[in-house]
Homo-oligomer: A and B are copies of this chain.
Amino acid sequence: MAVPVRISVQAEDFDLATELSGFGHAANTGATVTFTGLVRDDTGALQHMEIEHYPGMCEDAIRKIADEAANRWALTDCLVIHRFGRLVPGEQIMMVATAARHRSEAFAAAEFLMDYLKSRAPFWKKEVTREGAEWVAAKDSDEDALSRW
Chain A residues close to B by CB (< 8 Å)? 15-17, 20, 24-25, 27-42, 44, 89-90, 101, 103, 106-107, 110-111, 114
Within 8 Å by CB of A38, from B15, B30, B37, B42, lies B30
For A40, give the chain B residue with the smallest CB separation. Answer: B30
Contacts of A33 in B (CB 8 A): 33-36, 110
Contacts of A39 in B (CB 8 A): 30
Within 8 Å by CB of A34, from B27, B29, B34, B41, lies B34
A42 near B16: Cβ-Cβ < 8 Å: no
* CA–CA, A117 and B25, complex, Å: 23
B90 near A35: Cβ-Cβ < 8 Å: no
Contacts of A107 in B (CB 8 A): 35, 107, 110-111, 114
Contacts of A41 in B (CB 8 A): 27-28
* CA–CA, A29 and B27, complex, Å: 34
B111 near A35: Cβ-Cβ < 8 Å: no
Contacts of A44 in B (CB 8 A): 27
B27 near A32: Cβ-Cβ < 8 Å: no
A36 near B40: Cβ-Cβ < 8 Å: no
